[in-house]
């Protein structure tokens, strides 16, 4: 498979209004997808590798306001995380917010910026945040011949202070295309897959803490995490 650089990929996406779709696959199904990709599909290479390592730490309040905002579909919700791109040593503090109209906004600043946490306060107001979960995985990014891209996340691991979830037969594929599904979406449809509701933060927290309500991700948790969540 030919490669594409990050600059080339960014330029290709610059003019596109994106629609994101997530799919959950088993390892064998993910390999079936890779084997069936259009011939002209290219793979992102960064720092000489086509499988980049991601290391993310999520933060929340003592009352888990971020988690419950997502689990209970509150109109206003937020997510705070520190994401490290391991292969390049780049590290960012990211804030994602969703407002009353359902529009998601993601902002980020370099983590070593002295004003990084001040940026969080400016965005969300004063919050007492602490790390609650770590998530690591390997990501392969695919660029099909038509507009759009897809990411394939493998080797997913979730960790809290006292629990660890790993070695799941789970691959998360996320496509980013225009309003019309991309060739990779069409291929996934042909292979019998449909978009699913999944959040690495939400599913990870719910799997690590079975006492938490997790209605939003019930099917995902029972199918892939072997957990029957509480309903609250």
Q: Residue 75 has what pLDDT?
A: 79
CA dihedral 219→221→222→228, nearest 10 degrees, is -110
* Residue 230 in domain: no
Least confident range from 55-59, 72-76, 131-135: namely: 72-76
Q: Is residue 130 part of a domain?
A: yes
Asked whether residue 231 is assigned to any structural domain, the reply reads no
- Give how many domains the chain has, as a whole number: 1
Q: Which pLDDT tens digit goes with each residue over 101-132?
A: 656 788 999 999 999 999 999 999 999 999 99
Q: Does residue 230 carry a pLDDT above 50? A: no
Stretch 209-220: mean pLDDT: 90
Question: Where residue 206 falls among pLDDT bands split at 50, 70, 90?
Answer: very high
Average pLDDT over the chain reads 89
Selected residue with higher pLDDT from 215 and 119: 119
Q: What are phi and psi of 222, to 5 degrees?
A: -75, -35
Whole-number pLDDT of residue 73: 82
pLDDT (tens digit per residue) in 136-154: 999 999 998 888 889 999 9
Q: Is residue 21 in a domain?
A: yes
Tokens of 56: 């993310």
Question: Is the per-residue pLDDT at 214 higher than 70?
Answer: yes
Alpha-carbon distance of 198 to 17, in angstroms, equals 21
The pLDDT, as a whole number, for residue 124 is: 94
In a domain, 150, yes or no: yes
Q: What is the pTM of this model?
A: 0.90
Nearest-angstrom CA–CA distance, 39 and 126? 51
Nearest Cα neighbor of 158 from 176, 194, 140, 131 is 131
User: Please, which pLDDT band fits residue 232 given cuts at 50, 70 and 90?
Assistant: very low
CB-based contact 196:217 (threshold 8 Å): no
Q: Tell me: pLDDT of 93 over 80.
A: yes
Q: Which is it for the CA torsion 159, 216, 196, 14, positive or negative?
A: negative
pLDDT higher at 117 or 8: 117
State the CATH number of the domain containing residue 100: 3.20.100.30
More confident position, 13 or 83: 83
Domain assignment present for 232: no
Whether residue 204 has pLDDT greater than 80: yes
The boundaries of the domain holding residue 136 are 3-225
Q: Does any domain span residue 13?
A: yes
For residue 229, pLDDT beyond 60: no
The reply to whether 115 falls in a domain is yes
What is the average per-residue pLDDT within 35-51?
Answer: 92
């Amino acid at each position: 498979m030919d490669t594409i650089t990050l600059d080339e990929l960014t330029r290709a996406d610059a003019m596109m209004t994106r629609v994101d779709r997530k799919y959950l696959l088993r390892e064998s199904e993910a390999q079936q997808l890779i084997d069936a990709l259009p011939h002209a599909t290219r793979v992102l290479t960064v720092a000489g590798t086509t499988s980049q390592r991601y290391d993310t730490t999520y933060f929340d309040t003592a009352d888990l306001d971020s988690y419950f905002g997502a689990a209970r579909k509150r109109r206003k919700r937020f997510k705070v995380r520190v994401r490290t791109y391991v292969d390049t040593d780049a590290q960012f503090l990211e804030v994602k917010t969703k407002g009353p109209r359902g529009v998601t906004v993601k902002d980020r600043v370099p983590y070593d910026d002295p004003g990084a946490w001040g940026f969080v306060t400016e965005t969300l107001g004063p919050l007492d945040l602490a790390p609650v979960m770590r998530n690591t995985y390997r990501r392969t990014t695919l660029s099909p011949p038509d507009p759009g891209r897809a990411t394939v996340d493998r080797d997913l691991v979730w960790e809290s202070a006292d629990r660890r979830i790993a070695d799941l037969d789970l691959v998360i594929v996320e496509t980013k295309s225009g309003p019309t599904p991309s060739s990779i979406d069409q291929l996934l449809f042909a292979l019998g897959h449909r978009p699913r509701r999944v959040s690495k933060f939400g599913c990870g927290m719910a799997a690590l803490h079975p006492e938490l309500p997790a209605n939003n991700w019930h099917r995902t948790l029972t199918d892939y995490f072997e957990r029957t969540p509480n309903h609250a």
